[in-house]
Amino acid sequence: MTEVKIVEDCAATAETAFAYVNDYRNLPRFISEIHEFTPVTDQIEGVGATFDGTIRLGPATLHSTIRVVRWEENVAIAVKSIKGFEIESTFLFHGKDDNQCTVDAIVEYRVGGGIAGRVLGKTIEPFVKIAVKHSTHNLTTQIAEFQASRQG
């Protein structure tokens, strides 16, 4: 698997950051490459919640069904694909003080074998790195705004 990890500080508590990421409706707001993201189960949070998603990375459009595989309130949310494009994403939230946390965004993905897989991997790799960095910046900015709206 190829891993991309971005760590960024955020002007919000770990609790606020977790709450923002935990609401699946916010995902397309901070990951602009996501074009569809819908629940396929009645459960929409916690381990076992399952979603269908479509993401565009450069010239490639990739579909996955993902399931929440780790959910520790105010600490971590991780998803793993169970169908389609193989991806694992983890968000970790580390509290620093009353108004600061650090968010780790870790994305691991695997493309199929053979020539087609290698070509796809080389095609999407730069887009994945840019998307994760851009998404993490969007996320921390939106979390800080979310925290300010909760306080005001």
Instruction: List pLDDT tens digits, range 86-116.
Output: 889 999 999 998 889 999 999 887 766 777 6
Q: Which residue has the higher pLDDT, 17 or 124?
A: 17
User: Domain containing 28 — which CATH number?
Assistant: 3.30.530.20
66: Cα within 13 Å, side-chain hemisphere:
27
The boundaries of the domain holding residue 119 are 2-151
How confident is the model over 7-35, as pLDDT tens digits?
999 999 999 999 999 999 998 888 878 88
How much of the chain is in helix, strand and coil states, percent to nearest 5?
A: 35, 45, 20
> Which stretches does DSSP call E strand in the chain?
2-10, 34-39, 50-57, 60-72, 76-84, 86-97, 100-110
Number of structural domains found in the chain: 1
pTM for the full predicted model? 0.83
Provide CB contacts within 8 A for 113, sequence distance 6+. Answer: none
How confident is the model over 36-53, as pLDDT tens digits?
999 999 999 999 999 999
Q: Which two tokens stand for residue 23?
A: 């609401």
